[in-house]
Amino acid sequence: MTMVPVLLSEWTKVRTVRSTVVTLLTAFVVTVGLGALISFFSNSNFSKMGASEQASFDPTSTSFSGIFLGQLSLIVFAVLVIGSEYSSGMIRATLAAVPQRTTLLVAKVLTVLALVLPVALLTAFVAFFLGQSLLGSHRTHIGDPGVLRAVFGMAIYMTLIALFSLGVGFMLRKPVLSLGLLMPFFFLISPILSAVPKVKTVAHYFPDEAGQRLAAVHGSTSIPYGPLEAFFIVLAWVVVALGVGLILLKRRDA
């Protein structure tokens, strides 16, 4: 079977499901809304910050603060793209129609990419401009050095996180199991390890830590790499997750 009919089928399946609109809209609202709220309070409390905090203040990444929770919706969306088919049993019909497992995975990757990337770009630019408008005199401008790169970096991170979650969904198949792994990983394990001196160096190479560097203008002195390296770190997580997912998809029955 050629790729085009499979793509059309996957596009129809994903875009007609209510959870697609809900999760992507939630990602936009939470990321933009929370980023705006944190930008507002950062501006209000800027004079109360210490000298070192003021010197290292990054208005660009501040406007993206909402991604910490906003990525939750992206994770749910990507996991449901494949997990819902396994939980409903529809995966049997899908694999019967598309016996080429690689074609199926590539079609789902391209479908997720086509849906998430525009939303991620819109979210990144709206979050940036709204956040900067609320930062007052502490704002930055889109033409300042590194700012536009960071805005695109934010969109790229959001897209890659969705693809990484899709790969985990292929590996674990069940939505509850996939979310049960991804949620603690992003919201518990990574933040906790980042705060433990002896292991925080390892945590710097987790996708969310690299994503923060990708979407920041002023990098943290504790992170030993720049935005380009951060991109490849997150991309490596995506490639591994999708690669293992493909191997298991080929080896297992529906």
Can you give the residue range of the structural domain that contains 108? Answer: 3-251
- Count of structural domains, the chain: 1
State the pLDDT at residue 114.
94
pLDDT mean for each 10 residues of the chain (254 residues): 83 82 95 96 86 84 94 95 88 87 94 96 98 93 95 97 97 93 89 79 89 86 84 97 95 75
- Cβ atoms of residues 74 and 116 within 8 Å: yes
- The pLDDT, as a whole number, for residue 254 is 60
